[in-house]
Amino acid sequence: MLKLTNTLTGTQEAFTPSDGEHVRMYTCGPTVYDYAHIGNFRTYVFEDVLRRHLLSKGWKLTHVMNITDIDDKIIRRSVELGVDIHTYTAPFTKAFFEDSTTLKIQRPDIITPATDYIPEMVELVEKLLAAGYAYREGDSIYFRISRFPNYGRLSRLDKRELKIGARIDADEYEKEEPRDFVLWKAPKDDQEPRWDAPFGTGRPGWHLECSAMAMKNLGATLDIHCGAVDNIFPHHDNEIAQSEAVTGKPFVRFWVHGEFLLVEGEKMSKSKGNFYTLRDLIERGHDPLAIRLELMRVPYRKQLNFTMEGLRGSQSSLDRVKDFLFRLKSATLEAGSDPGIASGTASARNQFEAALDDDLNTAQGLGAMFELIREANIALSENRLREDNRREIFDFFQTIEQRLAIVPPLESVVQGDQEIDALVARRNEARRNRDFAMSDQIRKELVDRGILIEDTKEGTRWRRK
Ligand code: AMP
Ligand code: ZN
């Protein structure tokens, strides 16, 4: 049974789709004014793990994610460069999907660029105006929060106000102060992109986008809506207000929010300048799989402090997986099954499932995997592991790959390269003939080609670095 922490109630609740079969999920996507940083990708990786876990339950899933391709920053930068907003955002949208693929993030089923959904947004504003939830001020349209009962329910507004007043400076307090928010913005100057609407020419506000695109594709009530914790207020509280004011139905059953990626105790963000893009890290030679592992090492509900040391730690964890898979694959094993190892594998599998069911506890899920690696490595050294055990362990790693997508591809671990095999054989022959100068020379050649060799009881093994 899958339990998720629902921000709406502040508790863990058992999740099943409302109709028992089909999960309708919406995740807030990127604003494509620049490259996404790995803080953003921590959120997308957590949502990807959730997505994969939901699919593993056999439920049908419709996962919608928006692309915010119009906002103040996009307009400002495209005006500065003298290009239209689409020309400005297209490369960043492309980069976002390339980076997502590099991080093995599955593509949502429906991608909704905001500028493709203007008619739906216009319709929503018309309904809000007609029902008296929205009003005009100047040439813009605003949502009147005092008209909506329980405004701020998701962020528990009164408590939050008290907390925020006590700890952040007045400027930021004012900025976050609950207030009527804009639904439709009149253009400030000639250069701003605009659309015609019965209530005046303009462009949509950010909050409006997600309500319109979510309900258009998923219906009035979604099963799950995700984002990072900074989306809770005002963005998600505003989405609730706009949507429920129109439909009179609960907008979302489960609100699921990921915590921040921090750098030295502060939120990683563009505005603070303390960020890395995925491209930065790959350019420095980091392995995307290690980055993915690092981003999910800590369960999504806890903050994760990003350091290079942490990333190196994830790389060594990944190397441990690689070494183990290599060793397991290349071992010569007897037929049959060792019952102790068989039950260890089954229990690792159960622990892995239970951990993910427990509010996506990725740390514990990974823990179960590493414990099995430890036990199986001992069994290999003691010649206890059998063919059937190997098959079951590989099956389990296939499951881990489907769910967490952090398992190094076996092809990269073991290479049946004849030329290398021949060199290794020549080196072994040289050693048998006690021609150590020759064997060292061949070893060096192998190292230069990025091949590591290991002499074991069972013979010489090699793998690529
Ligand atoms: P943006 O492109 O700025 O709209 O952000 C995209 C997503 O990344 C949003 O859901 C943000 O809340 C989330 N996000 C931004 N910074 C961080 C961070 N440091 N850690 C985790 N998620 C973040
Ligand atoms: Zn959103």
* Phi, psi of 290, deg, nearest 5: -65, -35
8 Å CB contact between 100 and 40 = no
Q: What are the structural domain ranges in the chain?
A: 3-258, 266-404, 418-464
Residue 234: asked if its preceding bond is cis (omega within 30°), the reply is yes
Residue 348 phi/psi, 5-degree rounding, is -60, -40
Is the distance from CB of 4 to CB of 359 less than 8 angstroms?
A: yes
Residues around the ion ligand 2 (C-beta < 5 A): 28, 210
Q: Report which protein residue has its CA nearest ligand 1's atom 5.
A: 30
Report yes or no: 206 and 179 within 8 Å, Cβ to Cβ.
no
Percentages helix, strand, coil for the chain (3-state, rounded to 5) are 50, 20, 30
**Distance in Å, CA 228 to ligand 1 centroid:** 6
Ligand 2: centre distance to CA 24 (Å): 15
Q: In whole angstroms, give the CA distance from residue 398 to residue 394.
A: 6
Q: Give the class (CATH, top level) of 266-404.
A: mainly alpha
Task: Return d(Cα 3, Cα 299) in angstroms, integer.
Answer: 13
Q: Which ligand is nearest to the CA of 64?
A: 2
Q: Report the phi/psi class of residue 448: left, alpha or beta, with left for phi > 0 and alpha for psi in -120 to 50.
A: alpha
Amino acid at 225: H
Which one, of 464, 458, 304, 446, lies nearest residue 385 by Cα?
458
Burial class (CB in 10 A: 0-12, 13-18, 19+), 163: exposed
Contact criterion met (CB below 8 Å) for 64 and 218: yes
Render 282-326 in DSSP notation, one character per residue.
HHTT--HHHHHHHHHSS-TTS-EE--HHHHHHHHHHHHHHHHHHH
* Residue-by-residue pLDDT tens, the chain, 465 positions: 999 999 999 999 999 999 999 999 999 999 999 999 999 999 999 999 999 999 999 999 999 999 999 988 899 999 999 999 999 999 999 999 999 999 999 999 999 999 999 999 999 999 999 999 999 988 999 998 888 988 889 988 864 443 332 222 221 223 356 788 889 999 988 889 999 999 999 999 989 999 999 999 999 999 999 999 999 988 999 999 999 999 999 999 999 999 999 998 899 998 899 999 999 999 999 999 999 999 999 999 999 999 999 999 999 999 999 999 999 998 999 999 999 999 999 999 999 999 999 999 999 999 999 999 999 999 999 999 999 999 999 999 999 999 999 999 876 665 556 678 778 888 888 888 888 888 888 888 788 777 888 887 777 888 877
Ligand closest to the CA atom of residue 271: 1
Ligand 1 shell residues, CB under 6 Å: 28, 30-31, 39-40, 42-43, 227-228, 230-231, 260-261, 267-269
CATH of region 3-258: 3.40.50.620
Give the predicted TM-score (pTM) of the model.
0.88
What angle, rounded to 10 degrees, do the helices at 118-130 and 237-247 form?
70
CB 181 within 8 A of CB 234: yes
Q: Do 3-258 and 266-404 share a fold?
A: no
- Ligand 1 atom at minimum distance from 268 CA: 19
